[in-house]
Amino acid sequence: AQKITQTQPGMFVQEKEAVTLDCTYDTSDPSYGLFWYKQPSSGEMIFLIYQGSYDQQNATEGRYSLNFQKARKSANLVISASQLGDSAMYFCAMREWLSGSARQLTFGSGTQLTVLP
């Protein structure tokens, strides 16, 4: 079973408008972390935002915010005031426990966002 589900293979948004990228997750671990990464065409994975399962407030980082709905197991990324440079692939990921102190990230299949001028 998929642990991270991103149901939107592609999204379009007009420049300067807000856009929401969906992410749902599945875990029985009471302690977990959720991440969003941006991957432009260059390939580098750029960390955007993190939400811990015990965090009371939704995470925000500049124009990025994470709409965390724990009961629904969703962690949607909201990008406000979209810019042309936001066009990229966006991945949702979840932290799971591994042996020792390493923690695995499980990634979704990604959403390709295109910002239109």
Partner 1 sequence: SQTIHQWPATLVQPVGSPLSLECTVEGTSNPNLYWYRQAAGRGLQLLFYSVGIGQISSEVPQNLSASRPQDRQFILSSKKLLLSDSGFYLCAWRPGEVVQETQYFGPGTRLLVL
Interaction site with partner 1 (CB under 8 A): 4, 33, 35, 37, 42-47, 50, 52, 91, 93, 95, 98-110
Q: How far apart are CA 108 and CA 84, in angstroms?
A: 23
Residue 43 Cβ, how far from partner 1 at the closest point, in Å? 5
Q: Which is nearer to partner 1, 92 or 115 (CB)?
A: 92
Name the residue nearer to partner 1 (CB basis): 57 or 117.
57
Q: Say if residue 4 is exposed, middle or buried (CB neighbours under 10 Å; 0-12, 13-18, 19+).
A: buried
Show the beta-strand stretches assigned E in the chain: 4-5, 10-14, 19-21, 24-25, 33-39, 46-52, 60-61, 64-69, 74-79, 88-97, 103-107, 111-116
Query: First CA to last CA across the chain, in angstroms?
Result: 38
CB of 21 to partner 1, least distance (A): 14
Query: Least distance to partner 1 from the beta carbon of 64, Å?
Result: 14
Residue 17 CB, shortest distance to partner 1, in Å, is 26
Nearer to partner 1, 71 or 98 (CB): 98
Q: In the complex with partner 1, which residue's Cβ is closer, 13 or 49? A: 49
